[in-house]
Amino acid sequence: MPIIRSLCHPGLHKRKKRVEEIMYELGLAGQNNKLEDQSVNSLKKVNVLKLKEKLDEISEFAVKESSNEATYNKMKADWEPLAFECKSVAGKDSYILDGEAIELI
């Protein structure tokens, strides 16, 4: 079932807001229910197939957010140790970047 894939994606479960959206769409919001506790039978009872498009959309947003967060964290880790220094330009009232990190730009 493709809908199970949408509901079980690891990127989705890191996104509380997206899980709450799914629970709302399923009509299970505010009932202390957790998405991971839902059985196939409970999903059938709420006619989950009727909501496939909406649930796929929410899951896709969550996956993209998760991917963006991973990319951001990698970039942050790569750039964090770099130090840029400013060097004054002789005869001018301006500065330029100096140092080894300049080659990375």
pLDDT for residue 32: 67
The pLDDT confidence band at residue 104, using thresholds 50, 70 and 90, is low
Domain assignments of the chain as residue spans, ordered by start: 2-104
24: CB partners within 8 A, 6+ apart: none
> Is the model's pLDDT at 103 over the cut of 70?
no
Q: Which has the closest alpha carbon to 38: 2, 65, 8?
A: 8
pLDDT for residue 4: 77
Q: Which two tokens stand for residue 19?
A: 């899980």
pLDDT for residue 16: 82
